[in-house]
Amino acid sequence: MNWIILIIAGFFEVGFATCLGKAKETSGTTSMLWLGGFFVSLTISMVLLYRAAQTLPIGTAYAVWTGIGAVGTVIVGILLFKEPADFWRMFFMTTLIASIVGLKFVSH
């Protein structure tokens, strides 16, 4: 169950990074709404990370959380913000995913 909580926390990390990107692209009330989404996503992400870290090793939990956030944010950047999807970017994202999966398998 704590692995599921940790994965959800990682998705909210992607959410707060996405909200920051959208806030940068907008202005006025729309920007403030995106910033509100940032703070809500940040809070949920941190609370869920805290809950998952109660039973999972903190080093593993933090690495998985940041890995999910990093990979998810790259994917959102490519799809939503039209960032480049070149070979090396995809290669290193794949190695990051393999590392996250490996950490899950070696954690007790």
Residues 28-44 have pLDDT tens digits of 999 999 999 999 999 99
Is the pLDDT confidence value at 104 over 90? no
For residue 92, what are the domain limits? 2-106
C-alpha 13: how far from its chain's center?
A: 4
The CB density around residue 10, as the number of other CB atoms within 10 Å, is 24
Residues 40-87 have pLDDT tens digits of 999 999 999 999 999 999 999 999 999 999 999 999 999 999 999 999
Based on the number of CB atoms within 10 Å of its own CB, is 93 exposed (0-12), middle (13-18) or buried (19 or more)?
Answer: middle
Number of residues that make up the chain: 108
How many domains does the structure of the chain reveal? Answer: 1
Instruction: Please answer whether residues 10 and 68 qualify as being in contact, where contact means their C-beta atoms are separated by less than 8 angstroms.
Output: yes
